[in-house]
Structure 1
């Protein structure tokens, strides 16, 4: 991955939704597919699927005025596809924790259930810390979710779909929240997700020249 890459000139304008070709505009991930040299798509192989899902939501839910601030982030997702399965859990927890204090009660409860299921599924201390911070900001949601899960049937279906649903619920909730600047919170969640992915990517192997200099 080349984090120092910059977006080329004369690219289509960033806009919501899918686009059949660059002539009709580009969403965040279509832009990424172009930079990666892949087939034009909003689901390019170069980016972790859940990170791409978050990027699509942020792109579509951000206002026209705020969307231009996303362009500089696009090169950072090209090649950002950590293989560590813990990244999916951390990404979902990051976005849910950002959303929990500001979203509507219905979405708070859904995210709280998701966070508790995450905690039960993983021993990741980063997920535990994020969930604790989120629940401290909205303790009633934690109590409600625990009571709900005591009587609810065990969730069925794909865990990836469940985490993607958490991410989507959080992003929509942020966009609709009664806060001064939802665009900045959406962008911040995407930046945090990118940062977390970059930390989980393997370090580049040193070149032979670098090895000779070090030796």
Structure 2
């Protein structure tokens, strides 16, 4: 069966990292093939932040539900980000989508992450979306404000190295553990949300090295997810 943009004969998507296509393929390994790059779950064709989201969704989706992710693979190819504002926007969009359904611990972490995104973003649409998301979870929002109160402003590099990956992990893990019908469908929406945010035009106003370089250095040497 051929899926739009995906040629026949490629491996079935499965969880984890694979040494060769004969062992299977995850979402980003399939993307590396379609991009004509060497086999990798961290191909250069995709910004590492978006690639991390795709790997997390791939790994937390059930074997039965993972096939629904395949049509989204071409959309990560050639997405390299547009600077720090872009990175904050992607993280904020994913956090906003996940925060309502997530269990309490993940909800608290996501609310804190969204407040940090609000501090760092210059985008009015991000501020509005974050405010609306936090209104839906007043207990978590209050906890997060108390937790952050008195802390120094978050530096962009710290956001890139720690907060952004942590928010994505909490969003995906929280969605997979949520008391909802069909968590696979919700994970699909989460990735769809990240992709839509990644493709939304933005203007970066901050002179900061992109998270692309930070995460690539962090994962140098082919470390496992």
Q: TM-score, normalising length from structure 2?
A: 0.82
Aligned-residue offset at 1:151: 4.1
SS at match of 2:101: coil
CA distance in 1, matches of 2:74, 2:122: 32
Paired position in structure 2 for 1:196: 197
Paired position in structure 2 for 1:61: 60
Cα distance per residue 1:104-152 (max 9 Å; x no partner): 1111111111111111122211221221121111112111111111144
Paired position in structure 1 for 2:171: 170
Cα distance per residue 1:166-211 (max 9 Å; x no partner): 001110000011100111111111112212222338xxxxxxxxxx
- Relative to structure 2, which stretch is displaced further, 99-108 or 145-154? 145-154
- The equivalences for 1:40-189 within 5 A come to 40-152=39-151, 158-161=158-161, 162-189=163-190
Aligned-residue offset at 1:8: 1.2
CA distance in 1, matches of 2:98, 2:199: 22
Q: TM-score, normalising length from structure 1?
A: 0.86
Q: Which has the larger radius of gyration?
A: 1
The root-mean-square deviation of aligned C-alpha atoms, in Å, is: 2.0
The answer to whether the Cα contact below 8 Å between 2:89 and 2:121 also exists between their aligned partners in 1 is no
Paired position in structure 2 for 1:29: 28
Cα distance per residue 1:25-68 (max 9 Å; x no partner): 00000000010011110001111111100000000000111100
Cα distance per residue 1:57-106 (max 9 Å; x no partner): 00000011110000011011111222232221111111111111111111
CA distance in 1, matches of 2:141, 2:109: 10
Count of matched residue positions in the alignment of Structure 1 and Structure 2? 199
CA distance in 1, matches of 2:24, 2:113: 35
Which consecutive segments of 4 or more residues in structure 1 shift more than 6 A?
A: none
